[in-house]
Amino acid sequence: MKRLAASALFAMGVLQMSQAGSQGTDPGAIAAGELARTKLARELGAAPDAIRVVSVQATTFRDASLGCRRPGTATAQVITEGYTVTLEKGSEHRRVNVAGSRAVICDVVPRYRDPGRMPARASGLDKITVQAREDLAARLHIEPSQIRIGKIEPQRWADDTLGCATPEKASTDGPVAGFRLYLFAKDQIFTYHTDLTQVMPCPPVEDR
């Protein structure tokens, strides 16, 4: 009977974790998800209930823009702990970065598509895409085949930090043309930036 009772309690715990989604039971993550959803709802003039929290990922932001620095703008280099929140409304995903009471809407991420249907966008892009998948797979400790490629969109950044400046990396004046890659794994969306000579996760993805 004790074994059955323990099994039942374990199953209830798993169910509760599943219902909590990617936020789990971390109060900070739950609060960040709600703040991001409220921010996006206000921006779109939509009801918060129309927006679903897909994932909440703890993130260390390297500057005051919370990883959402716009080309041609300067921001203070301040290390800030926060969360990257992926939200879903209708047919698209949006990324909102949160730190404390601040929430910054970063970009729009359409649902991922079958990479086999995506045309080549530039010479060397296929190789860079493979590198991004392998890098993310190593960080998440999964096989590259478990990672799906979403939208690949052209970008132009202010310098060679590709919008991912860190205190350790000096920038060189641009502008620099490249691409933003959206990778889908473990029910989350990860973004990588590339100028076809380098590729990096942005915001950073901590090894797991």
Q: Where are the domains of the chain?
A: 2-110, 115-201
Chain centroid to CA 171: how far?
23
Torsion 113-32-75-204 (CA) sign:
negative
Tell me, yes or no, if the pTM score tops 0.75: no
Assigned token pair, 122: 């530039």
Residues written for the chain: 208
Amino acid letter for position 123: S
Band the pLDDT of 2: cuts 50, 70, 90: very low
Token pair 């190593």 is found at 138
What percentage of the chain exceeds 90 in pLDDT? Answer: 14
Band the pLDDT of 113: cuts 50, 70, 90: very low
Q: Are 208 and 140 in contact (CB under 8 A)?
A: yes
The rounded distance, in Å, linking the Cα atoms of 130 and 125 is: 9
- pLDDT at site 122: 53
Quick one: which of 140, 158, 156 has its CA closest to 148? Answer: 140
Q: 156-191 pLDDT, tens per residue?
A: 888 888 888 765 665 666 688 888 899 988 888 899
For the beta carbon of residue 135, count every other beta carbon within 10 angstroms. Answer: 19
Which residues are paired to 86 by β-bridges?
55, 95
